[in-house]
Structure 1
Amino acid sequence: MDGNGDLAFPALVAARLLLAFSPLPDALKYDQQLSSPLTSYSRLREGIYLFQHGIDPYSGGSFRHSPLLLSLFSTVLPLTRYTSPILWTAVDSGAAWALVQIWRLRAGAKRTSRDGQIYALYLLNPYIVLPSLALSTSSMENLLCLLAVMFACRGRASAALLALACLVQLSLPAVLLVAPTTLLAITRPVSRLALARPFDVQGKQTIPLIAEFVGYSALLTFASTFVCGNWRWVEKTWGASLTLPDLTPNPGLWWYFFTEMFDHFRPFFLMVFCVHLLIYIAPVCIKFQHDFLYAVFLLVGVQALFKPYPTLSDPGLFFSMFSIFPEIYPYLRHPIVTALIHLHASLLLPLFNSLWLRQGTGNANFFYASTLVFGMGNGAALLDAIWAGLRVAIGELKEGYEVAQE
């Protein structure tokens, strides 16, 4: 144990703040890879302007942020050219701090030699830094996600469920994390990947927590309705994740598919895509019932891969969470291949985006091809994580023996 992490953290935050006040954010604000219609800073500013002038921002078709952000930034935290970089830097710093707390709770130590590495892997992760410099509200979603997991690891179920309810208000696909986070608050985050034994969770433990989450969600929903004065926000925010009304290009797998979709097939495939996200919850929670923190990690990866309106920040959170599971590193199956696919995609995405939307020498197929490569990289990382999590429990197989998990 040492204090390197405590020294590295302020240095990383200072470097991040310098970047935030550089000319770089102005060049990134309108990049579709870093901001989606649900997380765009320019759309947030537009909605705040309309709201402050007595116009319902949800009466149009461009504003899709949660009313919680609308009320927060129009009253308590006004967004300016000076406050916004500081706020987003503080959000990233808080998320990095929460990630290190999760690691410490999992390791059962107040301070470890890996703390500085974990700070750096979050605050220097390009998938995290670039969307944050673009002032995408996906950075706030990452913070709420990590705070929910941190509170669950500490056994503070109420705080975890409140943070999770706030996250769902901002991003509906976060409902994937409700079950594993609730169960994590009961079981605590001690590493059990190498001891794959069934965990007995009593219904009387989970039902009150689920009811509490529903209560927080209902309270926040009514508060949002009070802010807006009507229920139109539900269709524009949550409804956008279910009906995909805005087909602005993004790094995800949905937009091009539904751009080419015939209208009479659209409702069916929307239902299939939405249900597809939900089918992972039970299998992941059951298979990794001995380590619900790892189940949360995997479902964050599922969300990053199949989210309707993703940004680079979503896989960025998944890759940053790899740092709190060092025991799986020896069991990753194809880490070099996965890394090279992501390197390839990180070059293709901006190149093909520029060829299509700026140079005019390409078309939508160019950019969609790069998003497929990016999706393949995310899928490869997710499969590697699943394989490694299962392989840890088996250990080194001895010749002539078969080992099966319970």
Structure 2
Amino acid sequence: MNTKFIYSVFLSGLIRYLLSISKYSKSIENHVEVSTPLNSFKRVKEGAFLYANDVDPYEGDVYHENPFILFTTSFLLKNMSGMIPIIIILLDLLTAIFIYLGTKAISENNFEKQQKNLSTYAENTTEIQLKKADTIEIPTYCALAYLFNPYSILNCVGLTTTVISNFLLSIMIFSLSRNMKILCILSLAIETQKNFYSFVLIVPVALRFSESSKSKVISRILTIIAFLITLLSLHCLSFQMMKSFNFIDSTYGFIIHCRELLPNIGLFWYFFTEMFDHFRNLFLYTFQLNSTILYLLPLTFTFKDSPEFLLTILLSLISVFRSYPCVGDIAFCMSLIPLWKRIFQFMSHNFIVVAAFLVTSILGPTVYHLWMYANSANANFYFGVTLVFCTANIFLLTDLTFAYLKMEFCLKNGISFDKSLKLSLD
């Protein structure tokens, strides 16, 4: 790590700390773009209070985190409650550091792959190939994209448990890039116990670990089996801690059935508020399939040779289509986009996406205030903003996907620029 990056880490930590002790911290913590029924710090404190008074927090409909977070937060609130904001900030900074280390290893690995495949590339493709300098710049851009992203800063100041999810995902990416199989599977299993949707990430993980194996199919199967055994072991350990399996319904059941239709930046809440009850299950499972396995097979077949890019796409899909998304999920996905900087010149919707993010990020809180406090708007206004926000995410996702495919095609078939600067294929 260079000195400038270390200074950036301290500066971003200072920004987070100053905001956490400011008068705006409570407002940020309570905002629907930041806190959801799954990650709200208020609900974490409520669950810890119930547990401390010998009441099972999973019997009600307030607490929806896994038992490991319940035990940890109960201990922290009892013994060092004043240090919780500092701990959250440190976890967020560690997330950026792991992103830096992980993306650095991925960039170096991609550069080595490119050097081995140079003979298969067309002659005039030097300008779209990965450069040695990129292996130094890309991890810095990725870390900075997380450290100074307003979404990740708000997520940290809001004390959401999404900070823990991002930390676990960063460890997974770091260990994946360094071929640390046990740590990667363990971190993914813990995150999957917390967030149901993360189970699809085992596919790119299995693809990545099978690259150096002689029998790729057997390696992938063994990786998936190891993940399932680890996840089952975590559930059994949670049962020993809680003496019941109530936590499964309060975590997975709550996420899948979307029991609280509170406003958020996702698509579920408004749609199912307006849904007739006898159609609810049909559309509920359709939405959940869309969030998990609907795109898994086609994307896996398309990007089986680039598991890291597949991981980026799946993370983005989860952050958009999950039942209770927040800005913290979006921030983590955005931090991985610089990893694919060489495909930026093939993207065609940059202005639309950036403009949509800026406009909706400003309009969202504004319209929500008009709806809830000024009584001069309604749910349609707020949902309209969140719909545009999700559309911008989808535009970004599809643009990245097609840009990657264009780049791969151009590397094999050649690329040239005419005098009008229009891209043409040989």
Structure 2: which amino acid aligns with 1:44? V
Whether 2:334 is the aligned partner of 1:310: answer: no
Which of 258, 261, 270 is matched with 1:247 structurally? 261
Q: CA deviation at 1:363?
A: 1.2
Distance 1:215 1:64 in 2: 23
Which of 120, 127, 148 is matched with 2:151 structurally? 127
Distance 1:201 1:294 in 2: 22
Distance 1:311 1:238 in 2: 18
Structure 2: which amino acid aligns with 1:377? A
User: How many residues in Structure 1 have an aligned counterpart in Structure 2?
Assistant: 393
- Corresponding residue number in structure 1 for 2:32: 32
Question: Closer, same or farther in 2 for the Cα pair 1:5/1:303, shift >3 Å?
Answer: same
Structure 2: which amino acid aligns with 1:164? L
Residues 278-337 of structure 1, C-alpha deviation per residue, up to 9 Å, x if partnerless? 111111121111210000001111111101110011111111111222212211111111
Tell which structure's C-alpha radius of gyration is larger: 2
Q: CA deviation at 1:80?
A: 5.5
Whether 2:185 is the aligned partner of 1:158: answer: no
Distance 1:256 1:39 in 2: 19
Structure 2: which amino acid aligns with 1:222? C
Whether 2:200 is the aligned partner of 1:185: answer: no
Whether 2:100 is the aligned partner of 1:100: answer: yes
- Corresponding residue number in structure 2 for 1:137: 161
Q: CA deviation at 1:79?
A: 7.6
Structure 1: which amino acid aligns with 2:15? A
Question: What is the TM-score when the length of structure 1 is the normalising length?
Answer: 0.91
Distance 1:65 1:370 in 2: 28
Structure 2: which amino acid aligns with 1:139? V
Q: CA RMSD in A?
A: 2.3
Which of 152, 155, 169 is matched with 2:193 structurally? 169
- Corresponding residue number in structure 1 for 2:334: 319
Whether 2:260 is the aligned partner of 1:236: answer: no
Which ranges of structure 2 fall in alignment gaps of 5 or more residues?
109-131
- Give the secondary-structure state (helix, strand or coil) at the position aligned to 1:368: helix
Whether 2:275 is the aligned partner of 1:261: answer: yes
Which of 223, 227, 246 is matched with 1:213 structurally? 227
Residues 37-87 of structure 1, C-alpha deviation per residue, up to 9 Å, x if partnerless? 011100010000000110011111121111111011123675855212111
Q: CA deviation at 1:92?
A: 0.9
- Corresponding residue number in structure 1 for 2:393: 378
- Corresponding residue number in structure 1 for 2:49: 49
Distance 2:361 2:11 in 1: 27
8 Å contact kept, 1:345–1:374 = yes
Please, which moves more after superposition, 327-336 or 179-188?
179-188
Structure 2: which amino acid aligns with 1:334? H
Distance 2:270 2:205 in 1: 32
- Corresponding residue number in structure 2 for 1:194: none
Question: Closer, same or farther in 2 for the Cα pair 1:301/1:113, shift >3 Å?
Answer: closer
Q: CA deviation at 1:270?
A: 1.1
Whether 2:79 is the aligned partner of 1:69: answer: no
Distance 2:344 2:425 in 1: 23
Please, which moves more after superposition, 317-326 or 11-20?
11-20
Distance 2:312 2:348 in 1: 18
8 Å contact kept, 2:138–2:339 = no
Q: CA deviation at 1:206?
A: 1.1
- Corresponding residue number in structure 1 for 2:9: 9
- Corresponding residue number in structure 2 for 1:345: 360
